[in-house]
Structure 1
């Protein structure tokens, strides 16, 4: 792995588990693990049926603080913080003011009116911080803490029991968080938020770097009786794709707007101000020229990003943005950005290595986890 890549404070733990590493947003992170419970499919299945533990410390961390910090964040990012309150988290978008394109999607932790914690994507943290810093009024500070904190994601049906076994809070409402002490690191606090990127019940935990190894060890030890598996970012990708969750840099980007990506639910349309508001309102009224759709293979084709999508063999309408083999469904699934106005009942073709494979348009999610308590 190249020397310039950043390393998680848990890197040695991953090496000990035989992790295969890959580059993610400038970080060397585990893609999958060796061993009896290792490999993308086994790790994926552990989350769907039991519990898995991910290191997602490559995710950004930034704090916005000062008098009226929450109001400032609300006037810049897309979603409406006024709809939630302290102790709640919210999915939101940082959009470009001129084009409406998505600079990044992130989670905002509303601590109080004067403190908001933001968790952007690894590759976009510096840009989000730069934009917020440039626009900040006097008295508001924006601090990049990307390398100060680790983030662990405990996901799966047994996640509550594992957290309780290590003395951390569990069972709070979806998209809410609790700040707690951790017995394994005296004087160190942990932010425990009931959210995740898998569609399963789960939690994301933010903790200071130095205390992260002790928390990882405690969770792995407590989870053994529940079938816990250390999970890499390969499984995280198959899990989020089964849910239809977008990935920045593939499904959303500066070239893709929230309207095109069907993320209008994450926009506070009635707010007086947020970056990109005017252009996005106009696009919403006129209708976007492209739409993100969900596709499921009717045969054995496995879609991958950038494969062409066609209405007929001679009419190309877009391309795959995210595509994979679904370990749960045992078939290919994909998100694709295509021309707007395509008949939702039309069978589409995907160019899989020079062969046109048939795909049907479906509604998200591909895998329905609503039968399990969220």
Structure 2
């Protein structure tokens, strides 16, 4: 049973949303009147609005807070400046079992050398904050803001017009944010980020004021074809992009090297959790790598299905799969054994209840992104 609800819960129920448990939160999966397909299409062609307040929020503040976080998480904060966001990973430290495995992937907002905001995943927020709190130097405080801050995602090619209509700033470079947004007297942090592959924004606002902003965005977006969207469409959209989902493409047993997320690792940094294990794996070569699978028809590769090579030998496992509303075929992500020598374009199969179904190996994204 879900024990937590977002501040927009009543609005979702009133809109006929199908609710389901997501990491202990009751969240909308799809809305009445169209469902996942219509919501997915709205984001690709017009604009969609998501409540993603199940995502964690936390501040790390105090003298040298950014340097401390940089010594823990994988990405290199020297690559960005205040006012920018960064995708990064919290890995298991060297000396722990599964060192280099991923505790969580998250977005970091750099306000300044002494002020960082973190947005981890719902299921892992408490663990990330526990680890950061336990190791924090004197004067640095890690504060859980999960219940205080709501997170909305406005995604799609018409999102700038909707944002402008409610008076929020949208002329931002990709992965930049501003705290100077305001709506009805409320402070709104606007960031050019998202999980769909489309031009879009994530909006952070005080939880008690999220309803007014949600209503205003839906009203302003009516002329642009806006749709409220649930986590079902969020998943089909991210899978088309090949974006990893923790617990599927990233986990304590799946490293950034295996998930092709090494671009989010500051390899030249002197310190981050799991550094030695990841460097050793990188030099030796990961035993498995993430690939995309595309079916010739509507057959969907499902998580946990074995991927079969020549002669029916297992060469990997499906981690995510869905029907692609854009391509109208089944697609999936899979970890494939490096020793199998799989290459892009290879013809493999997935084991569907004992029956091999053909798939072709592709390198994601399945659909061209439109984020920059």
Q: TM-score, normalised by structure 1?
A: 0.96
Aligned to 1:116: 116
Aligned to 2:325: 327
CA distance in 2: counterparts of 1:369 and 1:79, whole angstroms:
22
**SS at 1:28's partner residue?**
strand
- How far does residue 45 in structure 1 lie from its aligned partner after superposition? 0.1
Aligned to 2:303: 305
Aligned to 1:53: 49
CA distance in 2: counterparts of 1:30 and 1:261, whole angstroms:
28
**SS at 1:261's partner residue?**
coil
Within 5 Å, give how 1:280-299 maps onto structure 2. Answer: 280-299=278-297
- Runs of 5+ unmatched residues, structure 1: none
Mean CA deviation greater in 312-321 or 262-271: 312-321
Aligned: 1:12 with 2:25: no
- 8 A contact 1:301–1:352 mirrored in 2: no
CA distance in 2: counterparts of 1:49 and 1:355, whole angstroms:
36
CA distance in 2: counterparts of 1:57 and 1:228, whole angstroms:
19
Aligned to 1:154: 154
Aligned to 2:73: 77
**SS at 1:237's partner residue?**
helix
Deviations 1:242-295 (A, max 9, x none): 000000011110000000000000000000000000010000000011111111
**SS at 2:88's partner residue?**
strand
- How far does residue 346 in structure 1 lie from its aligned partner after superposition? 2.5
- How far does residue 25 in structure 1 lie from its aligned partner after superposition? 1.1
Aligned: 1:343 with 2:339: no
CA distance in 2: counterparts of 1:313 and 1:63, whole angstroms:
53
Deviations 1:210-234 (A, max 9, x none): 0000000000000000000000000
Quick one: structure 1 residues 162 and 298, their matched pair in 2 at CA, closer, same or farther if it must change by over 3 Å?
A: same
- 8 A contact 2:6–2:54 mirrored in 1: yes
- How far does residue 52 in structure 1 lie from its aligned partner after superposition? 0.2
**Residue in structure 1 matching 2:274, options 273, 276, 281:** 276
- How far does residue 351 in structure 1 lie from its aligned partner after superposition? 1.2
Within 5 Å, give how 1:1-374 maps onto structure 2. Answer: 2=1, 4-35=2-33, 38-98=34-94, 99-184=99-184, 186=185, 188-341=186-339, 342-344=341-343, 345-370=345-370, 374=372
- 8 A contact 2:298–2:328 mirrored in 1: no
**SS at 2:40's partner residue?**
helix
- How far does residue 116 in structure 1 lie from its aligned partner after superposition? 0.3
Deviations 1:129-184 (A, max 9, x none): 00001111111000111111100000000100100000000021000001134332
- Runs of 5+ unmatched residues, structure 2: none
CA distance in 2: counterparts of 1:352 and 1:308, whole angstroms:
8
- 8 A contact 1:313–1:349 mirrored in 2: no
- 8 A contact 1:100–1:280 mirrored in 2: yes
- 8 A contact 1:302–1:352 mirrored in 2: no
CA distance in 2: counterparts of 1:350 and 1:325, whole angstroms:
15
**SS at 1:75's partner residue?**
helix
**SS at 1:256's partner residue?**
coil
| RMSD of aligned alpha carbons | 1.1
- How far does residue 189 in structure 1 lie from its aligned partner after superposition? 1.1
May I ask how many residue pairs the two structures share in their alignment?
366
**SS at 1:229's partner residue?**
strand
Structure 1 moving runs of 4+ over 6 Å: none
**SS at 2:63's partner residue?**
coil
CA distance in 1: counterparts of 2:16 and 2:353, whole angstroms:
32
